[in-house]
């Protein structure tokens, strides 16, 4: 099961106690479907019948068509007025909108949650619900469809928590942390690899220069410490400065070895 379908499954398990919140969720579905819901999900069909009854509506038809593409048909009739009175009603309304037109990308992918609407009035009411719930959302028009979307992980997690998918929020947060850790780990590994490659290239470059320098009379006049450093670098071009320092007698720090090699390079210029 995809993460998106799992979130919707969690929503369908939410038990609203408030009649107003049940009405808010039903009204969202009613607006987005025009009162005619077609779905392959039995739980969603059953939930809409239940919410319709609690909201004072009439479920006129509930039918099922089997076959390669099974489908439940729920036709509801409702009359009255609806207002987004408070945050609880707003989050229930958002849950209903997401059940019909919502999509969230898998946590392993870039953060993206959206709800698509056919009608502008439902789009505008959902935007008002987001504002009342304190969740930041953006809107756009895409192929004659109205779209509200979120591309911030924290806002997506807040959406899940407030609309009743708490387990989904925890799973999303956990996946996000794992992704961040993997990204940081890969960055460190790539940085280490780059540093190693750079050190090896530098070592072999120094080897070539030192071999030529060691064949000159000027090299024989150098202090023994510098001659030792040059010989060890020529013999060990692929090791780090720290490792090279451990081979010195007495051992030297990385900074000390770097200072000697820099002094040798200056003399060869």
| pLDDT on residue 102 | 94
| pLDDT on residue 84 | 83
Contact 92, 24 (CB under 8 A): yes
Q: How many CA atoms lie within 13 A of 138 on its CB side?
A: 9
Taking the model in full, what pTM does it have? 0.66
| pLDDT on residue 259 | 83
Q: Tens digits of per-residue pLDDT, 240-252? A: 888 878 888 888 8
| pLDDT on residue 146 | 94
Query: What's the whole-number mean pLDDT along residues 203-222?
Result: 76
Q: Tens digits of per-residue pLDDT, 139-179? A: 999 988 999 999 998 899 999 999 999 898 888 888 777 76
| CA–CA distance, 231 with 191 (Å, rounded to integer) | 29
SS3 38: strand
Confidence of residue 50 (pLDDT cuts 50, 70, 90): confident
Query: What's the whole-number mean pLDDT along residues 117-146?
Result: 92
The Cβ of residue 102 has, within 10 Å, a number of other Cβ atoms equal to 22
Query: What's the whole-number mean pLDDT along residues 4-10?
Result: 92
Confidence of residue 49 (pLDDT cuts 50, 70, 90): confident
Strand 58-65 vs strand 102-104: parallel, antiparallel, or unpaired?
unpaired
Q: Tokens 């911030």 correspond to what residue?
A: 152
Q: Tens digits of per-residue pLDDT, 36-46? A: 888 888 888 88
| pLDDT on residue 192 | 57
Q: Which two tokens stand for residue 142?
A: 């895409």
Higher-pLDDT residue of 151, 201: 151
Higher-pLDDT residue of 14, 178: 14
Confidence of residue 97 (pLDDT cuts 50, 70, 90): very high
Q: Tens digits of per-residue pLDDT, 214-260? A: 778 777 877 888 778 778 887 887 778 888 788 888 888 888 878 88
Q: What is the dihedral of CA 21, 24, 28, 29, to 10 degrees?
A: 60
Architecture of domain 3-164: Roll (3.10)
| pLDDT on residue 95 | 94
Higher-pLDDT residue of 198, 95: 95
Residue 181 pLDDT greater than 70, yes or no: no
Mean pLDDT highest for which of 94-108, 177-191, 249-263? Answer: 94-108
Name residue 85's beta-bridge partners: none
Annotated domain spans of the chain = 3-164, 203-268
Residue 1 pLDDT greater than 90, yes or no: no
| pLDDT on residue 132 | 92
């Amino acid at each position: 099961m995809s993460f998106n379908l799992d979130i919707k499954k969690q929503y369908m398990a939410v038990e609203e106690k408030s009649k107003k919140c049940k009405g808010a969720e039903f009204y969202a579905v009613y607006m987005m479907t025009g009162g005619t819901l077609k779905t392959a999900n039995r739980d969603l069909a059953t939930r809409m019948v239940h919410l319709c009854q609690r909201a004072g509506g009439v479920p006129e038809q509930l039918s099922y068509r089997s076959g390669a593409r099974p489908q439940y048909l729920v036709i509801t009739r409702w009359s009255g007025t609806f207002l987004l009175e408070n945050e609880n009603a707003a989050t229930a309304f958002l849950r209903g909108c997401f059940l019909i037109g919502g999509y969230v990308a898998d946590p392993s992918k870039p953060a993206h949650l959206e709800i698509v609407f056919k009608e502008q009035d439902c789009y505008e009411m959902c935007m008002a619900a987001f504002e009342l719930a304190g969740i930041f959302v953006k809107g756009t028009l895409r192929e004659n469809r109205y779209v509200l979307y979120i591309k911030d992980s924290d806002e997506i997690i807040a959406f899940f928590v407030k609309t009743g998918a708490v387990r989904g929020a925890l799973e999303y947060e956990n996946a996000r942390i794992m992704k961040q850790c993997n990204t940081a780990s890969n960055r460190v590994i790539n940085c280490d690899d780059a540093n190693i490659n750079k050190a090896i290239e530098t070592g072999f470059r120094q080897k070539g220069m030192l071999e030529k320098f060691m064949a000159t009379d000027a090299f024989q006049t150098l202090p023994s410490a510098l001659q030792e450093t040059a010989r060890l670098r020529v013999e060990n071009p692929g090791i780090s400065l720290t490792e090279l320092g451990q081979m010195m007698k007495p051992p030297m720090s990385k900074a000390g070895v770097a200072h000697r090699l820099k002094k040798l390079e200056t003399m060869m210029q």
